Structure 1
Amino acid sequence: MIDIHCHILHGVDDGPKTRTDSLAMAQAAVNEGIHTIIASPHHQNGIYINSRLDIEAKVMEFNRLMQEENIPLTVLVGQETRLHRDMIKELQMGVITPLNNTKYVFIEFPSGEVPRYAEQMLFEIQVAGYTPIIVHPERNRQIAENPSILYNLVQKGSLTQLTAASIVGKFGKAIQKLSYQLIESNLTHFIASDAHNTTSRGFRLKEAYEKICKRYGDETFYMYMENARLLINGEDVYCYEPQNVKKQRKIFGVF
């Protein structure tokens, strides 16, 4: 398996604190059947700043460390960037890094809202030649209350990524239900762990894929698996015509 969203680098954000913690995550990933991970430390979320050059250096160092420890895992360069008004400038300056140096760029919204300028900024990112991927939209309170917001953004070219833990119910039944609705409405294109550690925020990617396969069949299962591969190779991914979903009455859970 390929995990396109993971906080595996130590000492850079709210992921692992020590090298030992990072190595424990790497071994846990291998035990789960993951062979490739995109490291995606937080950037510009009001707390953490992780620029492209810093991430590249840490990824190179961590891959060397895993070789020394005989852990058969490859870590690629990525970044989880909070949407902000200087994104185009930071992309042009090389501060923001696309995923594995492809056209794909992670976009994170604040947990409680979708910024009013989001639609325009996502459009400008696409004009600049990149494809924005909105991470964990199922855990955004405003999208949960009004999924048509996400439908509008996907219809205009943005992609999305669900969290494995959401699919298996780790964040509660309401978020799990919304995750299923987004899948059924063709409003998501990737499944990833967003793992931060080996305990409270573990991988759960294998479990999520098993649930998807059981609930939706082989075609949907393989589409998400293949999209992860296509992404790291910089190729176009599978997208189906998005549909709107019914408004959620009430959403509870961790955001």
Structure 2
Amino acid sequence: MFTLFKPKKTLVTNFPPNYMDLHSHILPTVDDGAKSFEESLVLLKRLESYGIRKLVLTPHIMEGVWENSNTFLEQRFYELQAYLKKEQFNSITLRLAAEYMLDSNFSTLLKEQQLLTIKDNYILVELSYLSAPVNLYQLLFEIQLAGYKPILAHPERYSFFHQNFKEYHKLKEVGCLFQLNLLSLSDYYGKDVHTISKKLLKANLINFTGMDVHHIKHLNYLEKINNPSIVKLIQPILANNVQFAQEN
């Protein structure tokens, strides 16, 4: 039986060529992301089906929870690459970086080691969901003084900023870039996060996007995003990821 109704285009059918995802937890057994090399491969194959060809692995580095060292992460990254080669999977170019919690130990890391960057001197940072550090602006200053450029992961998820939207503008003014989680375009994290996400996009405050994928449930939910106005709203930011990946 023929139908005149066309299926809606979903978000995952709209990734532009050469899109690079900046935020993922697919490196196995290092944080709350993939639990095995096999799970990593399942996730990567699903991303491949979306047309993703470039992916940055950003495991957590967090004091007292995931105190991952560069050496440990680099070794696990080497092991993942070896596993993928054995499985003859080479469709996605992977890069190792990290998602740094701006906690009491971060200043020490900043002073004592070379940080794992998204690209060039860009680093991905995050805040506690409970509250921003009291020295947030001092930390952002130290990051830039050390020669790095901070990209704040999922700013829309920090509820303590929701009623003080001017704080987002203030963060941008001091040189902090913003990475929106694509799942925030649904109600996955709640309606408040969804509302703030659209507000940030409409205010032109978002620089990049990321899937922040931890497990297959995230991708299953991501595939349900098919609101045409949402898909249209996010297109320019998806393009930013492409341009960022191509810049020298």
Q: Residue 7 of structure 2 corresponds to which residue in structure 1?
A: none
CA contact (8 A) 1:192 1:205 kept: no
Q: Residue 187 of structure 1 corresponds to which residue in structure 2?
A: 205
Report SS of the residue matched to 1:125: helix
CA contact (8 A) 1:195 1:202 kept: no
Q: Residue 169 of structure 2 corresponds to which residue in structure 1?
A: 151
C-alpha distance in 2, partners of 1:92/1:157? 20
Q: Residue 225 of structure 1 corresponds to which residue in structure 2?
A: 238
C-alpha distance in 1, partners of 2:204/2:99? 23
Amino acid at match of 1:111: Y
Q: Residue 239 of structure 1 corresponds to which residue in structure 2?
A: none
Give the structure-1-normalised TM-score.
0.80
Amino acid at match of 1:221: Q
Pick aligned residue for 1:43 from 42, 57, 61: 61
Q: Residue 6 of structure 2 corresponds to which residue in structure 1?
A: none
Tell me the matched-pair count. 229
Q: Residue 110 of structure 2 corresponds to which residue in structure 1?
A: 91
C-alpha distance in 2, partners of 1:185/1:195? 25
1:185-213: CA deviations, max 9, x gaps? 12211110000011246583894897544
Unaligned runs of 5+ in 1: 236-255
Unaligned runs of 5+ in 2: 1-18
C-alpha distance in 1, partners of 2:68/2:226? 29
CA contact (8 A) 1:51 1:96 kept: no
Distance 1:111 1:187, change over 3 A: same
Q: Residue 127 of structure 1 corresponds to which residue in structure 2?
A: 145
| CA-CA distance at 1:93 after TM superposition | 2.9
Distance 1:208 1:97, change over 3 A: farther
CA contact (8 A) 1:79 1:97 kept: yes
C-alpha distance in 2, partners of 1:160/1:46? 26
CA RMSD after TM alignment = 2.4
Higher relative CO (CA 8 A, sep ≥ 6), structure 1 or 2?
2
Give the structure-2-normalised TM-score.
0.83
Report SS of the residue matched to 1:5: coil
Alignment of 1:1-255 (within 5 A): 1-71=19-89, 72-94=91-113, 96-100=115-119, 102-200=120-218, 204=222, 207=225, 212-214=230-232, 216=233, 221-222=235-236, 224-232=237-245, 235=248
C-alpha distance in 2, partners of 1:77/1:209? 32
C-alpha distance in 2, partners of 1:123/1:205? 38
Distance 1:66 1:211, change over 3 A: farther
Amino acid at match of 1:109: L
Larger Rg: 2
Distance 1:132 1:167, change over 3 A: same
Distance 1:16 1:208, change over 3 A: farther
1:116-168: CA deviations, max 9, x gaps? 10011101111211110111111112112322222211111100111111112
CA contact (8 A) 2:56 2:95 kept: yes
